[in-house]
Amino acid sequence: MLPEILVLRHGETEWNAARRMQGGRDSPLTEYGRAQARAMGAMLAGRGITAATHRLLSSPQGRAVETARLAFGVAPEIDPRLREIAMGDWSGLTRAEIDARWPGPQGEHFLDFYARAPRGEGFDALWARCADLLAALDRPTILVTHGMTSRVLRTIATGRGRGDLAALPGGQGVVFRIAHGRHDMLRAPLAPARGEG
């Protein structure tokens, strides 16, 4: 049985706002993204959840580290297994630029889109590193990560399989709590922003 985990996606970044794929690359948080980080931290503090009550782990990518710092007021422990899925040749490009150079089928599912990124990481590798991280957790933990990594972590943590990846909600400005086999979404008092990643 896993300990309680709280999964946060980083706040909105400049590239999220521009609908640009980040993957293994990075861009700064927007002012709205910084406000989202603070709101998530305040919401959790109101529930008695802080970096003093839970281990705080973050992706090494700047947008996640900054979100953790703003939310909890301390530097997080860095775990590279929390980084976002690498998008290969698509990193830094907008969806329109990708569609122009690598057109996919009409109405393509977002998971199929991520899976076909040229020289991308792919879901097998992402699934393996997320499973490895979860297996190593031994106490209540806050995980600050990214859109697709969050989705895979939560799918594994709730005992679901690869076919269930699209079943769980996503979004920024929300915290996902997994405890005793339950998956709950806790919304911070700010409207969610746009985009995955």
Task: Compute CA 39 distance to the chain's CA centroid, rounded to the nearest angstrom.
Answer: 16
Find the catalytic residue in 12, 84, 121, 196: 84
DSSP code, position 89:
G
Q: Of 47, 40, 48, nearest to 143 (Cα)?
A: 40
- Closest C-alpha among 146, 148, 160, 152 to residue 130: 152
Report strand pairing: 174-179 vs 55-58.
unpaired
CA 42 to CA 165: how far, in whole Å? Answer: 29
Residue 10 among the catalytic residues: yes
CA-closest candidate to residue 11, choices 197, 135, 141 = 197
**CB within 8 A of 9, min separation 6: which ones?**
145, 146, 147, 150, 170, 171, 172, 174
Which residue's structure tokens are 């943590």?
157
Q: Name the active-site residue from 10, 12, 54, 146.
A: 10
Concerning whether 196 is annotated as a catalytic residue, the answer is: no
CA distance 18 to 50: 32
State the catalytic residues.
Answer: 10, 84
